[in-house]
Structure 1
Amino acid sequence: MAFNVRATRALGEDYARIFGMQPDMDVALAATGEHHVLSVAESIKRKLPAEVVVAQACAHTHPGTDKDEAQVVSWITAAALLAPGGKSLPLPRRAEGFLVHLGDHDFVLSVPAAQWLTPVLRDVARERYGLSGSDLDGAPFNQLRNYIYSQASIMRLYGVLVTEGPKGVARVTESIVRRA
């Protein structure tokens, strides 16, 4: 989430600097955290401003087309907010929702990176820590993987995989396990 906050902030600063547009960064940054339907519902329950709720619901798509806007409205509706007219967002569409959407795009790389790292970490678990059989598909591997990810982010490990290959991932993993 720290990456998303920084990306959203940088985009807002660039919109101001390059386009002379002043998005409400308090709204954009407040909306950058958790943004799934239950989190949107919690924001509604806590009576956060409608601008924050709408921006929060825009994280996974933007209201730039009728189809995408309908998706955002459906998430807000599912979170029990009565959207104006039930079919669209307030006009004009605010920039903050777009900033949150753009700032949330680390998943485009981070999700595949996690998927690509999993077999590499399985090999490390097999070769360096003696896991085999069902341990590689169950709790022992998941605990090792989750601990490694908690100490070195997926993106850091993916960067190591790209630049140093599987041996580099094994090196980082060993340094983390050794500290534990």
Structure 2
Amino acid sequence: MERREFLKMGIVAGAAVAASALPAMAEASYTEFTLEDCLKLTPQQMAENSGAVMASWKYIQNQAAGIKNPMLRRAVLEIIADPAPKLLNVVSGRKKDVYKEFEKNGWITDISYDAFLPENGSAKKANQPFYTAPGSGYSSHHCYPGGLATHTALNVEMSLALYSNYGKIYGFNLDRDVVVAAQILHDLHKPWVFQWQQDGSCRGENKLAGTGEHHVLGVAESVVRGLPADVCVAQACAHNHPGFSKDEEAPVRWLKAAAVIADVDPVEYGLLAKDGMTLPLQRSMEAFVTHLGDHDWILTVPAVKWIIPVMEEIAMHDYGMNKAELNSKKFHAFRNAVFSQATVMNLYHLMQKDGKAALRKQVNAIVKA
């Protein structure tokens, strides 16, 4: 099939699926192409040719548009439309001071001043669209073009299920706006951190304040953009909850680090309690829901680790690749295309239920040998 034709067909298929509700994503279509096609496709084209990715992206946009608070709704929609690191406007001229503050507090180790923030950042335009970014590092969960969209969509749906169930069982409603906004934004700077590289892999991630740098930078971005404190606190709790003192130390640390980047007083902004030692009291239930909703990785991380070796076997057996090529653009383009079209979770489910032969058949249906 001519490249122009399969691109057009895939975008149409993706748009058709995206118009449906989230549960229909299991039946999302994909585009077929050759190995040569894979090498020519950009990450954006791969994402746009995936029915599952486009459906997830549409779902995220719809949920953001459903936020009732007009100022919060506008802010969330603006961020996902262009997740440019506006925080760079605030850090400009202060970077050395911010770096020294991180060093003093033990929030940064083995990272040079030059590598302190992800490269190529621009406050004017994001490095890539939200929907083309991977969900995590290249050997971790949702490591394909569009992985951030499928990861975020599932987490939002999980969070809304928790929100609904608290209402059904206990008879009270949490703040739905906070739940939706915090979960949509919990990985907002992955498009900056996990930039696609020339060899088809994505940029590695440094750590800030004891967690992946995307997390602290994302919370800082929300503060810089003036989002309400309760949303920023819930967003910070995506990686850990405040239920026990030892656990609460982590989001408190991340909020302090984000406040340094954003150049605000975390207590005055409302990110911390008056003593600066805990989250605001009484502790937000929405923060717990955001944390519980961000547990897609529990299954998706090992699923990737189990799938990649099988993909390597298929690449060598069916597509003539040698071992050296498994760490090259050729294999990366191949796996990016397959993962973006089918999603890792669908592939792992297929292998778990029907075996490696079924997985191989599915891969061959997406990329013609």
Q: TM-score, normalised by structure 1?
A: 0.95
1:88-128 deviation per Cα after TM superposition (whole angstroms, max 9, x unaligned): 11111111111111111110000000010010100111111
SS at match of 1:86: coil
Among 229, 248, 251, the alignment partner of 1:72 is 251
Q: Structure 1: give runs of 5+ residues left out of the alignment.
A: none
| Residue identity (%) | 45
1:33-58 deviation per Cα after TM superposition (whole angstroms, max 9, x unaligned): 24211111110001100000000011
Partner of 2:242: 63
Q: Distance in 2 between matches of 1:31 and 1:89?
A: 16
Among 160, 164, 167, the alignment partner of 1:13 is 164
Partner of 2:48: none
Among 131, 149, 152, the alignment partner of 2:321 is 131
Higher helix share: 1
Partner of 2:233: 54
Q: Distance in 1 between matches of 2:155 and 2:258?
A: 22
Q: Structure 2: give runs of 5+ residues left out of the alignment.
A: 1-151, 187-214, 267-271
Among 274, 280, 284, the alignment partner of 1:94 is 284
Q: Distance in 2 between matches of 1:112 and 1:16?
A: 33
Displacement of 1:17 in angstroms is: 0.6
Name whichever of 87-96 and 131-140 sits farther off.
Answer: 131-140
Q: Distance in 1 between matches of 2:342 and 2:288?
A: 30
* Matched-pair contact (CA < 8 Å) for 2:315–2:331: yes
Map 1:1-180 onto structure 2 (within 5 A). Answer: 1-35=152-186, 36-80=215-259, 82=266, 83-84=272-273, 85-178=275-368
Name whichever of 133-142 and 23-32 sits farther off.
Answer: 133-142
Residues paired across the two proteins, number: 178
Counterpart AA for 1:63:
P
Q: Distance in 2 between matches of 1:47 and 1:129?
A: 51
Q: CA RMSD in A?
A: 1.2
Q: Distance in 1 between matches of 2:354 and 2:160?
A: 32
Q: Distance in 2 between matches of 1:12 and 1:98?
A: 11
* Matched-pair contact (CA < 8 Å) for 2:316–2:323: no
Q: Which runs of 4+ in 1 moved over 4 A?
A: none
Counterpart AA for 2:316:
R
Q: Distance in 2 between matches of 1:153 and 1:17?
A: 32
Name whichever of 4-13 and 144-153 sits farther off.
Answer: 144-153
Q: Distance in 2 between matches of 1:146 and 1:75?
A: 32
Q: Distance in 2 between matches of 1:159 and 1:105?
A: 18
Q: Distance in 1 between matches of 2:329 and 2:244?
A: 43
Q: Distance in 1 between matches of 2:242 and 2:158?
A: 19
Q: Distance in 1 between matches of 2:216 and 2:361?
A: 39
Counterpart AA for 2:248:
E
Displacement of 1:137 in angstroms is: 2.3
1:121-156 deviation per Cα after TM superposition (whole angstroms, max 9, x unaligned): 001111111111210123221221111111111111
Counterpart AA for 2:315:
A
Q: Distance in 2 between matches of 1:169 and 1:19?
A: 43
Name whichever of 76-85 and 98-107 sits farther off.
Answer: 76-85
Displacement of 1:168 in angstroms is: 1.3
Counterpart AA for 2:173:
Q
